[in-house]
């Protein structure tokens, strides 16, 4: 049974940094595409970043490119999202997701992911 658990959210001032972690169990980490999505109140869940060893790369939304960085610790089955230069519009619940079968064209769509964590709140004050 796949389980994803996010941690590291919190309250930070604009311009600050936060590090989110996603601990994965029940899957072979290196065979999965791992992603971060976020959802602000009243808005749809949106793609933030993804890492896929199978597809050979990392992917970012335009809104976070250059500010956020995704990395993995394969020994610990953990994915990290380093968030720098945070803005109030980054405020959302951040979710970790995984898929063993997603293809590149589906990468940015939440419907392509089979497994989700419970989410962690990130609040950026102005």
Task: Answer yes or no: are the C-beta atoms of 99 and 115 closer than 8 Å.
Answer: yes
pLDDT in tens, 35-78: 999 999 999 999 999 998 877 889 999 999 999 999 998 889 99
pLDDT value of residue 28: 80
Length of the chain: 126
């Amino acid at each position: 049974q796949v389980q994803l658990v996010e941690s590291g959210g919190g309250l930070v001032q604009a311009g600050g940094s936060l590090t989110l972690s996603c601990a994965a169990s029940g899957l072979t980490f290196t065979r999965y595409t791992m992603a971060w999505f976020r959802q602000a109140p009243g808005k749809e869940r949106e793609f933030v970043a993804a890492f896929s060893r199978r597809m050979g790369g990392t992917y970012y939304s335009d809104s976070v490119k250059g500010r956020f960085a995704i990395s993995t610790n394969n020994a610990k089955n953990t994915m990290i999202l380093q968030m720098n230069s945070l803005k109030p519009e980054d405020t959302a619940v951040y979710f970790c997701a995984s898929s063993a079968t997603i293809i590149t064209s589906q990468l940015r769509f939440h419907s392509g992911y089979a497994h989700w964590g419970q989410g962690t709140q990130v609040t950026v004050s102005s």
